[in-house]
Amino acid sequence: MNGTIDGYLLKYQEHVEPKQLNYEKYTKDGRVRYEKKYQRRTDSYTYPDKTNKNVCTIIVSNIGDTLKISNAKYIDYVNEKSSGLWYKEGYFYNMLDSSAYNPLCEGIYYKGAKVGLWKFYNRNGDETYSENYNYPDTSSTNTLIFDDEGRIQNEGKLINGRRIGHWKHFYHGILENELYYNSSNELKLLVRHYRSGGKLMSPYVDGEIDGVQVEIDTNIQVRKYCTFRKGVKNGPCIEFDKEGEIENESNYKNGRETTVFSNSTNAPKINGFSHGYNVQYSLRDGHKMYEGEKNMGYNVGKHIVYNKNEGYTITYFPKNVEKLMNPCNNDMKIKREFYNNQGNLISIEE
């Protein structure tokens, strides 16, 4: 059916006799209706309309005891590759996983939030405590999705089942992303909010970053902009320091970087390859970690690796790049010298 499987798909465990069914999927009218995985998990799918999808997952033990039941609802659903937003909805039962994030419990979800009476259990299946959760406020004219604790997680307009206009995504109540859709449900702009207060603004065309991506700091000052084409850097990319001076400038061609100017101690790049003297410092405490010459991505000549509080190692690479590029070259000799913190030679390896 249009090049897609319609009907039953069965997969068996390899090299096992008699044959053991390992996976089963049933598809009708191009949409998956249920999946069974690993002989223990079953996912059942229903489609109330073209833009919504419901999923019920049941996991059982080897002897058939129910270990987990979960239900989820997808909105703005298109297909398996573009599944839209989802949230937990309905009955939830978990006696499989146990952690602070995912305790053993059972209760009801409503639009992603825990509501009503929830019971919590220990590993023996004994109830340890229970808790009542209030229903979240859904009086807004926007579509709202909540997290477990009833905080807003996603907010925006749904028109004919599709995301339109301005949407917000929160993490633990903190604004993380803003998404802007046109009237055809196409993402046109994604604004990522940093915890530090800055923003990264990315234009989108056909689901990929396309155009000039701009990063600003807490003072609404541009810190970086890069040009993208179909999800790949293509064109100028410039970074600025706090005073607004150019810190790094590069040109990209199909994702390959060529350095125009850089205040960095890293080697400049030509067509994506490091070429020149390269020095790297620790971002944590500023100590020098490494230095040496690069020739179109290859280490050449003398290279030093500084092991904090443990001395340093000098490696001597051949300077003939053609030999380095030849994978069949077995005559290439590399010499290493090991020094202690006082600069005394400890040993040589050739």
pLDDT band at 331 (very low <50, low <70, confident <90, very high): low
In this prediction, residues 273-301 reach a mean pLDDT of 91
Encode pLDDT of 313-322 as tens digits. 999 988 887 7
- The closest alpha carbon to 29, from 52, 48, 6, belongs to 6
On the 0-12 / 13-18 / 19+ scale of CB atoms within 10 A, 136 is: buried
In this prediction, residues 87-115 reach a mean pLDDT of 93
The one-letter code for the residue type at 135 is Y
In this prediction, residues 290-313 reach a mean pLDDT of 92
Contacts of 242 (CB under 8 A, 6+ apart): 217, 221
Encode pLDDT of 167-201 as tens digits. 999 999 999 999 999 999 999 999 999 998 999 99
pLDDT value of residue 330: 60
Q: Which residues pair with 9 in a beta bridge?
A: 25
Residue for token pair 């020739």: 295
166, 131 contact by CB (below 8 A)? no
Pairing verdict, β 90-94 and 66-75: antiparallel
Share of the chain above pLDDT 90, in %: 69
pTM of the model: 0.80
Residue 222, pLDDT above cutoff 80 = yes
In this prediction, residues 218-236 reach a mean pLDDT of 95
In this prediction, residues 199-228 reach a mean pLDDT of 96
- Tokens in use for 20? 């053991």
In this prediction, residues 115-136 reach a mean pLDDT of 96
pLDDT value of residue 3: 62
In this prediction, residues 17-31 reach a mean pLDDT of 76
Rounded distance between C-alpha atoms, residue 38 and residue 11, angstroms: 10
Rounded distance between C-alpha atoms, residue 23 and residue 40, angstroms: 10
pLDDT band at 2 (very low <50, low <70, confident <90, very high): low
pLDDT band at 295 (very low <50, low <70, confident <90, very high): very high
- Tokens in use for 261? 């100017």
The one-letter code for the residue type at 225 is Y
pLDDT value of residue 16: 62
177, 141 contact by CB (below 8 A)? no
In this prediction, residues 202-218 reach a mean pLDDT of 96
pLDDT value of residue 195: 92
| Distances in whole angstroms, Cα of residue 338 to Cα of each of 293, 302, 317, 345, 348 | 19, 13, 15, 6, 6
Encode pLDDT of 8-23 as tens digits. 777 776 766 667 677 7
H helix and E strand count, the chain: 1, 31
Rounded distance between C-alpha atoms, residue 78 and residue 162, angstroms: 9
Average pLDDT, the chain: 90
Residue 34, pLDDT above cutoff 80 = no
- DSSP secondary structure letter of residue 324: H
Q: Which residues pair with 127 in a beta bridge?
A: 121
pLDDT value of residue 70: 97
Domain range summary for the chain, segments of one domain joined by +:
270-350
pLDDT value of residue 145: 98
- Tokens in use for 238? 């410039």
- The closest alpha carbon to 109, from 138, 73, 153, 85, belongs to 73
